Chains A and B, each alone.
Chain A
Amino acid sequence: MSDASKPAKKDADGEVRRIKAPVKLDYTVTAGLALSRFLKGVTAGKLLGQRCGVCSKVYVPPRGGCPTCGVGMGEQVEVKDTGTLTTFCIVNVPFEGQTMKLPYVYGLIALDGADNALHHLILAPPEEVRMGMRLRAEWVPPESRPASMEAIRWFVPTGEPDAPWDSYKEHL
């Protein structure tokens, strides 16, 4: 039976006003060369970026091209799993697939050695979270690390003093 042959919506006078028109398409997607190197790295507990040969910026994860220069990325660079919270939000709305208890913090982290910021979950009381906060990755144990950002469970505060504004103002 066809996907669309589910009951249609009727209104009071019985005229068909709406139909269900579900779309389901299956793909096999490739992560691409640059992202695949990065994802293989995270399963080994490493964060691998690439440096643009033109502007010298290091992108983590690396991309197919430098978004400002429009050239292929060059040298591979390993960056630290510590960094600075550049901005964040506090999530109060539930949605499907959520793994954290509400409210929780989602933020952008400029890893030490990288020139862009990475998205991840922040495990800290929302009222204590602030821009410039120093964070470190909490890795999933090696034997259960997937080739995805879920290899890092979340970022947690290191307890170091906050980073100065000038050190991350370019990463907002």
Chain B
Amino acid sequence: MSPREIAIVSYASLLAVPGEPQRDEVELLLPVVTEAVARSGIPKRELGFTVSGSCDYLGGRPFSFVMALDAIGAWPPIAESHVEMDGAFALYEAWVRLQCGDVDSALVYAFGRSTQGDLGRVLAQQLDPYTLSPLWPDDTALAALQARALLDRGRVSERDFAAVAARTRGGDADELVQRPYTVAPLRAHDRGTVADGAAAVVLAAGDLARKVCKRPAWIRGIDHRIEQHQLGQRDLTRSVSTALAGERAGVGKGPVDVAELYAPYTHQELILREALGLGEGVEVNPSGGALAAHPLMVAGLSRFGEAAERIIDGSANRAVAHATSGPCLQQNLVAVLEAAP
């Protein structure tokens, strides 16, 4: 059975760089959800399913996703779900839900307040609690282990990391690479700018998508793969899960115009490009990606939204969207979006 045709028909986001000191979660989310729903042309009450992605540790508010529902107006009672992950993984749940065939549209949203706490300590909580968390390694320390392994493999240099930073967030690579290390071999520009934000996407199936959107971004393939958690059990220089998810999503079946990759670190963009087989001709992260603004839990859904926008606005015909989760690209979700029906 071939999967049902599902498309992204609208996207909205709010990125607060380097943080949002005023608004709370609902105040951040409400204008974003309102805009995405309005752009979709589907009345809010008619959306068949709602699912969100967020993480309570970020803002330090247990069950914050329950309060965030104030931004949706869950009355009369709605069909709703939540993942304690990036919103891109909520989008995957919505895609699976729409495959059931009894509902034709879904609202997916994400919010993240990465700047209210110490992200390095918060992210130590996603690690194995017996052998890793007690050492409190921060995310940069672990990413730097991966960066060193990649440098040791010999095909890329710290100058290549700086070039990724210069392209996505500005600056001159030759100058950036002279700057001091934060956690060697990484420098400040190698880590995405910690930010707050919210994003929302509306998905629609078949005829409904064609009715509400001139150029829906059709999800032609989507796949999610995960690897071992322990860094010492993986080859950190390759993302086997991304390569497999990309293959199953059909990345190589045609030319790619644009790719939005969720790479929280410069060297991870290089690893992802290789895993997905994206050549020099592919425009990668024209939005600036997670390096320009990194609101956790939102950055992945934003990649899907940004890639879809390029299809919807007619500037691309075939796009790749990617999201990651876990230390050093532990799990990866890849989708191919196409304009062709």
Q: Are B61 and A70 in contact (CB under 8 A)?
A: no
B60 cross-chain contacts in A, Cβ below 8 A: 25, 27, 29
Q: B154: CB under 8 A from chain A?
A: no
Segment touching B, from A59-67, A87-95, A105-113, A148-156 = A59-67
B84 to chain A, nearest CB (A): 15
Any B CB within 8 A of the CB of A11: no
Which one of B59, B70, B125 contacts A65 once the chains associate, using CB atoms below 8 Å? B70
* B105 → chain A closest CB, angstroms: 16
Q: Which of B33, B61, B134 contacts A29 (CB 8 A)?
A: B61
Q: From the candidates A5, A28, A72, name the one contacting B30 in the complex (CB within 8 A).
A: A72
Q: Is A30 an interface residue (CB 8 A)?
A: yes
What A residues does B69 contact at CB under 8 A?
A: 67
- Contact (Cβ within 8 A) B34 A71: yes
Task: List B contacts of A71 (CB < 8 A).
Answer: 30, 34, 73
B: contact size bracket: 35 or more
B145 is an interface residue with CB less than 8 A from chain A: no
Assess the B71–A30 pair: CB atoms within 8 A.
no
* B34 cross-chain contacts in A, Cβ below 8 A: 70-71
- What is the bound-complex CA distance between A21 and B30, given in angstroms? 37
Report A1-42 residues with CB < 8 Å from chain B CB.
2-5, 19, 21, 23, 25-35
A98 at the interface (CB under 8 A from B): no
Alpha-carbon distance between A29 and B69 when the two chains are bound, in angstroms = 19
Which one of B30, B122, B129 lies within 8 Å of A25 (CB-CB)? B122
Q: Identify B116's interface contact among A19, A27, A35, A66, CB under 8 A.
A: A27
Bound CA span A72–B21, Å: 19
Question: Are A32 and B24 interface neighbours, CB within 8 A?
Answer: yes
Q: Is A68 an interface residue (CB 8 A)?
A: yes
Instruction: Please tell me if the beta carbons of A64 and B26 are within 8 angstroms of each other in the complex.
Output: yes
Q: Does chain B have a CB within 8 A of A69?
A: yes
Partner of B118, one of A26, A67, A72: A26
Residues from chain A with Cβ under 8 Å of B27 in the complex: 32-34, 64-65
Instruction: List the A side residues contacting B134 at CB < 8 Å.
Output: 2-5, 19, 21
B130-160, CB under 8 A of A: which get 1 and which 0? Answer: 1001111000000000000000000000000
| A142, chain B: closest CB distance, angstroms | 27
Which A residues touch B130, using CB under 8 A? 19, 21
Interface residues of B (CB under 8 A from A): 20-27, 29-31, 33-34, 44, 57, 59-61, 69-75, 116-118, 121-122, 125, 129-130, 133-136
Query: Can you name 8 A-B residue pairings with CB atoms under 8 Å?
Result: A27-B59, A27-B116, A30-B20, A64-B30, A64-B70, A65-B70, A68-B73, A71-B34
Binding site for B on A (CB under 8 A): 2-5, 19, 21, 23, 25-35, 63-72
